[in-house]
């Protein structure tokens, strides 16, 4: 996949807030941000973001991740991590 990458889906999360990022296998964040689904828990809402990053020099494995953090301790509560091929220039 080449930049830009669309990340979309549905979620049932507190106040509809989600964190998203594109990472490489070393854990470096290539793009990331916060988005809001169309509805918060207990309803299910949809979301869609466009991730823009610098394409790597050659094909590498990466991940598209969407998650929430615990307000209590900041740890990741729930995560969806999808492996992708980041296409080289």
Q: Where are the domains of the chain?
A: 5-86
Q: How many CB atoms are located within 10 Å of the residue 36 CB?
A: 13
pLDDT digits (tens, 9 = 90+) for 20-75: 999 999 999 999 999 999 999 999 999 999 999 999 999 999 999 999 999 899 99
Instruction: In whole angstroms, give the CA distance from residue 40 to residue 87.
Output: 34
Q: How many helices (H) and strands (E) does the chain have?
A: 0, 6
pLDDT for 89 beyond 90? no
Instruction: In whole angstroms, give the CA distance from residue 37 to residue 15.
Output: 9
Considering the segment(s) 5-86 as one domain, its CATH architecture is Sandwich (2.60)
Q: Which of 31, 28, 35, 29 is nearest to 10 (CA)?
A: 35
Does the pTM surpass 0.85? The reply is yes
Residue with tokens 């941000």: 33
């Amino acid at each position: 996949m080449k930049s830009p990458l669309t990340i979309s889906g549905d979620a049932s999360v507190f106040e509809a807030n989600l964190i998203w990022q594109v990472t490489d296998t070393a854990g470096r964040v290539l793009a990331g941000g916060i988005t809001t689904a169309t509805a918060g828990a207990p309803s299910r809402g949809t979301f869609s973001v466009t991730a823009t990053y610098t394409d790597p020099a050659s094909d590498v494995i990466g991940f598209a991740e969407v998650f929430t953090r615990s307000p209590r301790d900041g740890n990741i509560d729930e995560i969806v991590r999808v492996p992708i091929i980041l296409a080289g220039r």
